[in-house]
Amino acid sequence: MNTLIAIGAGIAVVTGLGAGIGIGIATGKACEGIARQPEAEGKIQKNLILGCALAEATAIYGFVIALMIIVMLQ
């Protein structure tokens, strides 16, 4: 039973992988956009920060679920 709990928690934490990849791609595209249009830096930066915050929230939710799995099921 403890092995299944650990596997479930590990799967829940994998959401951080997707968030990290998404934030990396978004940051790269934002840098490209700023390089092409420096005058749009403010708008690009604002949208980038909002998108990164939302993506990071999914990783935090996954981490919280993993902690809940470990604590509640032991």
Question: What CATH number is associated with residue 10?
Answer: 1.20.20.10
Beta-carbon contacts of residue 9 (< 8 Å; ≥ 6 apart): 66, 67, 69, 70
Count of domains forming the chain: 1
Model confidence at 1: pLDDT above 80 = no
> What pTM did the predictor assign?
0.76
C-alpha distances (whole Å) from 54 to each of 22, 27, 39, 45 are 10, 14, 25, 14
User: How confident is the model at residue 23, as a pLDDT?
Assistant: 92
Q: What is the pLDDT of residues 16-66, one digit of tens each?
A: 888 889 999 999 999 999 999 999 999 999 999 999 999 889 889 989 998
User: How confident is the model at residue 18, as a pLDDT?
Assistant: 87
| Placement of tokens 């940051």 in the chain | 27
Domain extent, residue 15, equals: 2-72
Per-residue tokens: 70: 């470990």
